[in-house]
Amino acid sequence: MTSENTHQPLPICDYEGSQYKEEFWGREYREYEDRAERLALGKLLPARGRRLLEIGAGFGRLADLYAGYDQVVLLDYSRTMIQQARERWGHDPRFLFVVGNVYDLPFLPGRFDTVVMVRVIHHLVDVPAAFQQIRTVLAKEGTFVLEFANKRNLKAVLRYALRRQAENPFHLPPYEFAPLNFNYHPGWMRRQWEAAGLRHEAQLGVSYFRVLWLKKHVPADALARLDGWLQRPGGAYPIAPSVIVRLRPTGDPQPFTAEPLFRCLACNSGLEPAPTGLHCPACGRSWPQHEGVYDFKE
């Protein structure tokens, strides 16, 4: 799960042109997962802050949770998804919309006091590289709220015990169950964020009732309330399908700095506003803005 050759581009799960909003969240019985995740984020996310970054924001499903932030940056690798987010939230001047890569974030160090990443890391082949990028853009005393898919969930443990699956859920390395789709052992994930200079502060188990029969027969709000009661005690030894953690940067991170926000991906210098987007005064490289979206996808 680490890239040894930094000159080779890492494979990326690209939702460009997909109908993710309709085909996934628009399907029946997804309301429970949405409510359960919102309950968990409400417990871990600082209510207020200066600037928040959501990585893999998609169509902006969770953006209403960020009402207490002075500025919100929604970033996704898919131009299609971030355009949907702009259509949904572009009326709010607090929002910026960015197409970019988690392995090469287009921001200068210490520009965010909060970073959120939900339903994203299970698509990443190089978790340590992503954590290093996030640690860099986090300001001193900042907060990183991360969701990851738990390979040691109760269903997987039972299936393994009954010999209905070959993958050992207690085995530490990530399990790629489909191309660019990974489940993670909580212990392995902890090693990665600690190596990147991130400190664990709180942890919740989420989405205990991700069973179609239950979602069909029990109202979503009732399932979500039950889930909410289990989230904190279930964080001690997670067996839920999803784990959400709150992390803090260790070492000597840079204090929060507001401007300039963006960095040049070519030379790392700060970017300046230009008529068609952003311009680097150091190397002359330009990065476009089109219909309210800053585009760093190369």
Tell me the helix, strand and coil percentages in the chain, rounded to 5: 30, 30, 40
Residue 1: pLDDT band with limits 50, 70, 90: low
The percentage of the chain sitting over the pLDDT mark of 70, rounded to a whole number, equals 98
pLDDT in tens, 149-207: 999 999 999 999 999 999 999 999 999 999 999 999 999 999 999 999 999 999 999 99
Q: With left for phi above 0 and alpha for psi between -120 and 50, is residue 119 left, alpha or beta?
A: left
Environment class of residue 232 by beta-carbon count within 10 Å: exposed (0-12), middle (13-18) or buried (19+)?
middle
The pLDDT assigned to 201 comes to 97
Quote the pLDDT of residue 29: 87
Reported confidence tier of residue 4, pLDDT bands at 50, 70, 90: low
- Reading the block at residue 51, the tokens are 């600037």
Give the SS3 label for residue 44.
helix
How far is CA 107 from each of CA 81, 110, 112, 162, 296, rounded to the nearest angstrom?
Answer: 20, 9, 9, 48, 11
Average pLDDT for residues 214-243, to the nearest whole number? 96
| Beta strand pairing call for 293-295 and 95-99 | parallel
User: Does residue 3 register a pLDDT over 60?
Assistant: no
Spatial separation of the C-alpha atoms in residues 197 and 180, rounded to whole Å: 25
Q: What angle do CA 152, 153, 157 make, to 5 degrees?
A: 75
CB 186 within 8 A of CB 238: yes
Higher pLDDT, 298 or 137: 137
Structure tokens, 19? 């109908």
In the predicted model, what is the mean pLDDT of the chain?
Answer: 95
3-class DSSP assignment, residue 35: helix
> Residue 120: is its pLDDT beyond 50?
yes
Triad 104, 96, 14: Cα angle to 5°: 45
For the 20-261 domain, the top CATH level (class) is alpha beta
* Exposure string over 81-90, b if 16+ CB within 10 A, otherwise e: bbbbbbebbe
The pLDDT, as a whole number, for residue 5 is 46
Average the pLDDT over 35-48 and give the result: 98
Q: Is it the case that residue 270 has pLDDT exceeding 80?
A: yes
Quote the pLDDT of residue 113.
97
